[in-house]
Chains A and B, each alone.
Chain A
């Protein structure tokens, strides 16, 4: 079932690629292709939902599907779920359905666009479900290539340059990751890429220079993808120049690959080294929180501002992870809360920021610019746009009752118990983002309506439905999070060794 969720969209994308060209020209055909792609993209969501219903929360990997791939090297095709990967896979499936259904300027090339989006959907779900380091890395790298083509071919502005910067930068991150995977593989006994076995073996105790080097390799690889300050500079141009749905995927899904890697691989396989370094990592996270928020505040470009809030939000995730992995005995409960908070933040950020990037795509399609100063008073013209954007913005700044709050409160509760000073500094970030989002809402929707936006159209039905689905989930997680927290906690509790 999990395998089907990964390969249905991938196989469909290959089918799209060899579709006869004559049948896909013209606006009517573009719509048909989009409807077909949306239907296909919903299949993995159904399959992941089914997997959620069958999930028992034992703390171990469930629903494992495994076959040998390159047994000579200990490589297998292994997928499965636990309380960490299941919510992320589900969030990925949701964001992809909305992004694929969302209107976008196809530049007369609908088929390759939807083929790439479906392909990327399968790859992304696969990455979160992979239980083999080799398979994980395959998905990791392929996602870069697919995103490169999405930005390069359908982006705007200096799209090719941004795409190249994205590709070079993140590929530069994936190579230390590969070297670290190999370094870790070489010390396993018997040699294997099987994640579950490596976690059981704990092959690399802390202390040796070798362990530090492997740790640094992993850390650089994941930090670039997350991205952590100071290796975040690929993110703003890539986000700004990507088409709206692609930046929703980039922020909502691809960034989570980095944070997911931190937990799944680095913390699980080298917990001692992580514990030794958890304070520096936490400080780095707080720097990202404050820096991301401040730089976002200084932006006049809507998309760039949202992009920098991603740096800020990923800072919360890393802070939660640093706290969760700290070696403080007797604080297992606090560490588990921080880990749960970080995981929920990954899910919440995917839904919220994915939604905000779709909003910015919708605004660009109508107004032709991302400059917030060009707009104003849109409330009177576009009520659904205003309403949905407002909910997403409030969720992003951490208003109680919405998903972001559930995540951030847990991260900060955990941090207060372990690193109280850092928690205090980190709270600054929340204050700044609050100012930033309020200013953004004010500039876009309040004030007087410039003459040229007299006929500013509101969201279409498809856009409203897509954003509505995201907002619904954001509110649901905010108001009644138990169904999600239970699943995440089935992973977080055993992970920190809470009795």
Chain B
């Protein structure tokens, strides 16, 4: 942090955030003033806001990496790339949402919630202070609960939102307790302060404090032990919202978790084995739950859980491998794009979700089925899709830091995962279509195909991203 930081220069460090706040308010005003038949225009305004914020974040990439706002907020390339991924995903989700909510007469404010929820994830990615963590978590969670229940009359959506809320409330309060403990131990809430002030022999209090904060973050990224909301929300929430809450908050949660663990005294809290065990448990549990799933959206939810487990391998390697940050960022990129493509297909199929409904769609909708196949093959890790590069990096860092057993566990899980992904793809391609396959419309299709194409392109042309991610620092002070 520079000594002469003035308010004016600090404001330029959070330009994307300011764009999102102002844009969210703008969308809300539009939704209040526009007549019902023009509510769809809110999507256009929100799209412009997200693109503007995305442009600003891209423009900030060449800047210097520092911690701003008195040690509470990082402006480094890791945070910027997380913002870019979050905002690109938000753009795609807006594309998916526009046709989905077309008939909802008061959906203008939906886009405000969407923008504020992205803001929450972005704040998480930049936060270097535990109090800021709390604020960002609440912003991201509260909007997520409302978004999940946006179909007020759907009992499934209500059930999903309640479950999401209850687990969230529990996890967030646990996290608050952990934050208080760590504050007491270190005398500071900034990560820089934790790194300097946490006693390496903190004993039980340190372990419990760290554990509780990790539980809160596990809720956000959908990891064991706070993962149970993911399949319900994936199945019950409006499909575009499911695409959003299984991807965007996860980006923020992962980046904060990464900052948090490097602030801890090395090995004092045993965080490395803790995260490794969580990773193995998460990938295995998510995988096993997928095996006999007959509901495509629920399957995607559980597969999101298992993917989180793979991503945690990068966190295990933080601090001991030069490739841990690029592995984490590339995983997030691959995961977000793949999940958007998969949920995009569900949206485009008008939310039809029983496995029987996909039989034979390969013949009727070849492009859409190809998008689904690309996304699933990328989840499995088939080259040259981006999921392969992500898995390669994750395996690489796990082996590099001496956690080869974790890489083997991930490999075994990958083999298991083929079974349930193929259980969807085989009937889609080899089955006989039952009738016509109705689809939703152009904006949703465009977003889905863009995501699927990006899965291929960022896999084949991975170098610019790997190189950029390798140059990204993860600063905490």
Which A residues contact B (CB, under 8 angstroms)?
68-73, 134, 137-138, 141-142, 145, 149, 152-153, 160, 163-164, 167-168, 171-172, 175-176, 178-179, 182-183, 185-186, 213
Task: Give the CA-CA distance A178 to B412 in the complex, in Å.
Answer: 12
Task: Give the CA-CA distance A240 to B326 in the complex, in Å.
Answer: 45
Q: Which B residues are in CB contact (< 8 Å) with A149?
A: 429
Cβ contact within 8 Å between B415 and A172: yes
Among listed B206-214, B219-227, B298-306, B460-468, interface-contacting one: B460-468
Question: Cβ of B383 < 8 Å from any Cβ of A?
Answer: yes
Cβ contact within 8 Å between A186 and B400: yes
Question: Chain A at the B interface: mostly helix, strand, loop or mixed?
Answer: helix
Task: Give the CA-CA distance A142 to B385 in the complex, in Å.
Answer: 10
Q: Which B residues are in CB contact (< 8 Å) with A160?
A: 426, 430
Task: Give the CA-CA distance A183 to B411 in the complex, in Å.
Answer: 14
Which B residues contact A (CB, under 8 angstroms)?
326, 377, 380, 382-384, 388-389, 392, 395-396, 399-400, 404, 407-408, 411-412, 414-415, 418-419, 422, 426, 429-430, 462-463, 466-467, 470
Task: Give the CA-CA distance A68 to B467 in the complex, in Å.
Answer: 13
**Other contacts beyond A153-B429, A176-B411: 5, CB < 8 A:** A70-B462, A73-B466, A145-B377, A168-B415, A171-B414
Across the interface, name the chain B residue whose C-beta is closest to A183: B399
Expressed in whole angstroms, the minimum distance between the Cβ of B467 and any Cβ of chain A is 5
Cβ contact within 8 Å between A70 and B463: yes
Task: Give the CA-CA distance A473 to B396 in the complex, in Å.
Answer: 44
Cβ contact within 8 Å between B470 and A152: no
Q: Indicate which residue in B383, B415, B430, B466 contacts A137 across the interface (CB closer than 8 Å).
A: B383
Do A168 and B418 form a contact, CB below 8 Å, given A152-B430, A160-B426?
yes
> Which of B400, B412, B415, B466 has the largest number of chain A CB atoms within 10 A?
B415
Cβ contact within 8 Å between B415 and A186: no
Task: Give the CA-CA distance A142 to B377 in the complex, in Å.
Answer: 10
Cβ contact within 8 Å between B463 and A213: no
Q: Which A residues are in CB contact (< 8 Å) with B384?
A: 138, 142
Cβ contact within 8 Å between B426 and A69: no
Expressed in whole angstroms, the minimum distance between the Cβ of A233 and any Cβ of chain B is 15
Q: Which A residues are in CB contact (< 8 Å) with B419?
A: 164, 168
Cβ contact within 8 Å between B383 and A141: yes
The list of the 5 closest CB pairs from A to B, nearest first, reads A175-B411, A138-B383, A172-B415, A70-B463, A72-B467
Task: Give the CA-CA distance A44 to B408 in the complex, in Å.
Answer: 38
Cβ contact within 8 Å between A141 and B388: yes
Do A72 and B426 form a contact, CB below 8 Å, given A179-B399, A185-B396?
no
Q: Which A residues are in CB contact (< 8 Å) with B380?
A: 171
Task: Give the CA-CA distance A275 to B467 in the complex, in Å.
Answer: 39
Expressed in whole angstroms, the minimum distance between the Cβ of A218 and any Cβ of chain B is 14
Cβ contact within 8 Å between A164 and B426: yes
**Pairs across A and B, CB under 8 Å, 17 listed:** A70-B463, A72-B326, A72-B463, A72-B466, A138-B383, A141-B388, A145-B382, A152-B430, A164-B419, A168-B419, A171-B414, A171-B415, A176-B411, A179-B404, A179-B411, A182-B392, A182-B399
Cβ contact within 8 Å between A186 and B463: no
Q: Indicate which residue in B392, B408, B412, B418 contacts A167 across the interface (CB closer than 8 Å).
A: B418
Cβ contact within 8 Å between A182 and B411: no
Cβ contact within 8 Å between B470 and A72: yes
Expressed in whole angstroms, the minimum distance between the Cβ of B361 and any Cβ of chain A is 14
Task: Give the CA-CA distance A109 to B429 in the complex, in Å.
Answer: 12
Across the interface, name the chain A residue whose C-beta is closest to B471: A72
Cβ contact within 8 Å between B399 and A186: yes
Do A178 and B415 form a contact, CB below 8 Å, given A72-B463, A141-B382, A149-B429?
no
Cβ contact within 8 Å between B429 and A164: no
Task: Give the CA-CA distance A215 to B408 in the complex, in Å.
Answer: 15
Q: Which A residues are in CB contact (< 8 Å) with B395?
A: 178-179, 182
